[in-house]
Amino acid sequence: MTTNTTPRVERDATAGSHDENHGDVTLGDATTTTKRVGGGLLDPKMLLHSIPDAVKKLDPRTLWHNPVMFVVEVGAVWSTVLAVAEPSWFGWLTVGWLWLTVIFANLAEAVAEGRGKAQADSLRRAKADTVARRLVGWAPSVPGTEEEVAAPLLRQGDVVVVEAGQVIPGDGDVVEGIASVDESAITGESAPVIRESGGDRSAVTGGTTVLSDRIVVKITQKPGESFIDRMIALVEGANRQKTPNEIALNILLAALTLIFVFAVATLQPLAIFSKGNNPGVPDSLALNGDGISGIVMVALLVCLIPTTIGALLSAIGIAGMDRLVQRNVLAMSGRAVEAAGDVNVLLLDKTGTITLGNRQAGAFLQLDGVTPERFADAAQLSSLADETPEGRSIVVFAKERFGLRARAASELVDAQWIEFTAATRMSGVDLGDGHQLRKGAAASVADWVRANGGTVPPELGAIVDEVSSAGGTPLVVGELRDGTARALGVIHLKDVVKPGMRERFDEMRRMGIRTVMITGDNPLTAKAIADEAGVDDFLAEATPEDKLALIKREQEGGKLVAMTGDGTNDAPALAQADVGVAMNTGTSAAKEAGNMVDLDSDPTKLIEIVEIGKQLLITRGALTTFSIANDIAKYFAIIPALFVTLFPGLDLLNVMRLHSPQSAILSAVIFNAVVIIALIPLSLKGVRYTPSSASKLLSRNLYVYGLGGIIAPFIGIKLIDLVVQLIPGMS
Domain co-membership, 379 together with 340: no
Domain co-membership, 107 together with 248: yes
Residues 6+ apart with CB under 8 A from 493: 359, 360, 361, 362, 390, 393, 472, 473, 474, 475
Residues 6+ apart with CB under 8 A from 249: 309, 313, 620, 624
Cα separation, 171 vs 187, in Å, equals: 14
Domain co-membership, 595 together with 537: yes
Task: Determine if residue 1 is labeled as part of a ligand binding site.
Answer: no
Give percent of the chain with pLDDT exceeding 90: 11
- pLDDT value for 503: 85
- For residue 8, is it within any domain? no
Select from 479, 496, 513 the last residue of a domain. 496
Gyration radius of the chain's alpha carbons = 34
For the sheet with 537-539, list strands across it.
329-331, 596-598, 579-583, 561-565, 345-349, 514-518, 537-539
Cα separation, 557 vs 559, in Å, equals: 6
- For residue 21, is it within any domain? no
Question: Catalytic: 495?
Answer: no
Select from 574, 599, 624 the last residue of a domain. 599
Q: Which long-range contacts (CB under 8 A, 24 or more apart) does 715-720 make?
A: 716/671, 716/674, 716/675, 717/633, 717/634, 717/637, 717/656, 717/658, 717/664, 717/667, 717/668, 717/671, 718/656, 718/657, 718/658, 718/667, 720/667, 720/670, 720/671, 720/674
CATH number for 558? 3.40.50.1000
- For residue 39, is it within any domain? no
Domain co-membership, 258 together with 272: yes
CB atoms within 10 A of CB 99: 18
- For residue 445, is it within any domain? yes
Q: Which residues pair with 440 in a beta bridge?
A: 426, 476
- pLDDT value for 496: 78
Question: Would you say 492 and 394 are in contact if contact means Cβ atoms under 8 Å apart?
Answer: no
Domain co-membership, 144 together with 202: yes
Task: Determine if residue 570 is labeled as part of a ligand binding site.
Answer: yes
- For residue 442, is it within any domain? yes
Domain co-membership, 682 together with 583: no
Task: Determine if residue 422 is labeled as part of a ligand binding site.
Answer: yes
Residue 226 one-letter amino acid: S
Buried b / exposed e over 204-228, threshold 16 CB at 10 Å, is bbbbbbbeebebbbbbbbeeeebbb
Task: Determine if residue 386 is labeled as part of a ligand binding site.
Answer: yes
Task: Determine if residue 36 is labeled as part of a ligand binding site.
Answer: no
Domain co-membership, 264 together with 337: no
CATH number for 473? 3.40.1110.10
**pLDDT tens digits, 278-328:** 665 555 555 655 667 788 888 888 988 889 888 888 888 777 877 887 787
- For residue 730, is it within any domain? no
- Label the pairing between strands 537-539 and 561-565: unpaired
Burial status of residue 190 (CB atoms within 10 A of its CB: 0-12, 13-18, 19 or more): exposed
- For residue 339, is it within any domain? yes
Burial status of residue 31 (CB atoms within 10 A of its CB: 0-12, 13-18, 19 or more): exposed
Domain co-membership, 175 together with 54: no
Cα separation, 444 vs 457, in Å, equals: 15
The total of structural domains in the chain comes to 4
Domain co-membership, 660 together with 577: no
Domain that holds residue 265: 45-112+240-321+612-725
Task: Determine if residue 692 is labeled as part of a ligand binding site.
Answer: no
Select from 540, 564, 599 the last residue of a domain. 599
The closest alpha carbon to 298, from 81, 111, 150, belongs to: 81
The closest alpha carbon to 720, from 663, 655, 641, belongs to: 663
Q: Residue 498, SS3?
A: coil
Which is the catalytic residue, given 158, 229, 349, 600?
A: 349
Q: Which residue positions in the chain have pLDDT lower than 50?
A: 1-41, 238-240, 408-410
Task: Determine if residue 425 is labeled as part of a ligand binding site.
Answer: yes
Question: Would you say 355 and 518 are in contact if contact means Cβ atoms under 8 Å apart?
Answer: no
- pLDDT value for 19: 35
Alpha carbon separation from 15 to 24, 395, 472, 521 (Å, rounded): 10, 9, 18, 23
Question: Would you say 106 and 100 are in contact if contact means Cβ atoms under 8 Å apart?
Answer: no
Ramachandran region, residue 449 (left: φ > 0; alpha: ψ -120 to 50; beta: rest) = alpha
Handedness of CA 530, 534, 538, 544 (dihedral sign): negative
- For residue 461, is it within any domain? yes
Domain co-membership, 529 together with 594: yes
Domain co-membership, 96 together with 245: yes
Cα separation, 367 vs 153, in Å, equals: 68
Task: Determine if residue 556 is labeled as part of a ligand binding site.
Answer: no
Domain co-membership, 444 together with 539: no
CATH number for 208? 2.70.150.10
